[in-house]
Amino acid sequence: MSRVKRRTFINTSLTGAAGLAVSHATSAALLDTMPTTTPTDQTSAAVRKILIAGGNFVTPFIRYMAALTGKPRPKICYLPTASADDKDAIIKFFQACAPLNVEPSVQESFIESLTQTRSWEDVFLSVDGIVVSGGNTLNQQAIWKAQGIDVVLRKAWDRGIVLGGASAGSLCWFDEGTTDSRPQALSIVHGLGFIKGSHSPHYDAESGRRPLYQKLIGSGEMKPGYACDNDAGIYFGDNVVKRVVSARAGAKVYYVSVVGGKVSEKTMEPEMIR
């Protein structure tokens, strides 16, 4: 196992996690119009938590994830499967954790048993939060299934371990979404199905995302769902939208569905997090 503990990056938390609030009034009014799902297969009393961003799961999002764990110094594990365990991305994760009072680690997926002496259960069920990297979502899903990581992530979710990420790290939790994981064009990818419906990341950053997402939902090829600009995201508690957040002014979240036979894109105004 390549479990890298932060040593040289540790600083005192700038603001900590305690001051985070829930639900902005404007967003709450809009969320009342969104479909919600109450899971019936929950195996524990823990709230099942997922925090996503359309792109850039940086310090403000990791700080919020840390707050959602409820721990004074939570263990946050980085899972960079989609990036093929990219070393630069791993370094950036530790840098993003540096201002925070967290214990960061990384679990690579391209491993061998001589040095990987702990099971996936031992690793992922012993932390408080798991951040999934961006990258190739399709390849990530295939590797997780082959390794059994998908099953362990489900156990982690059921136990209340906070899951999250951006791009591939946000797509993976939904039933389906739009991806650039295949050659030539954006296409549909199927995720783990922890969050019901569909998702489009990078909604403001890549010009092909918005028209394709609306087209697929309008035609019925894809379920209604949530689109996130880079730096904007959603906290889901037990599959219900609990809070819409942003780390950048102007970054927004949208609920895209079909109303009266036409595609409807409703803006979900986020709260700023820092």
Return the active site residues. 167, 202
Sheet with 253-259: strands ordered across: 187-190, 174-179, 195-200, 225-228, 253-259, 262-268
Closest Cα partner for 42 from 122, 155, 190, 150? 155
Question: Residues 128, 169, 121, CA angle at the centre, nearest 5°?
Answer: 40
User: Which residue carries 């951006």 as its tokens?
Assistant: 166
The span from the CA of 55 to the CA of 76, in Å, is: 19
Q: Contacts by 12-15 with C-beta closer than 8 Å and gap 24+?
A: 12/101, 13/63, 13/99, 13/100, 13/101, 14/99, 14/100, 15/63, 15/274
Contact criterion met (CB below 8 Å) for 253 and 270: yes
Three-state secondary structure call for residue 18: coil
Total residues belonging to the chain: 274
Distance CA 83, CA 40 (A): 34
Q: Tokens 């390549």 — which residue?
A: 2
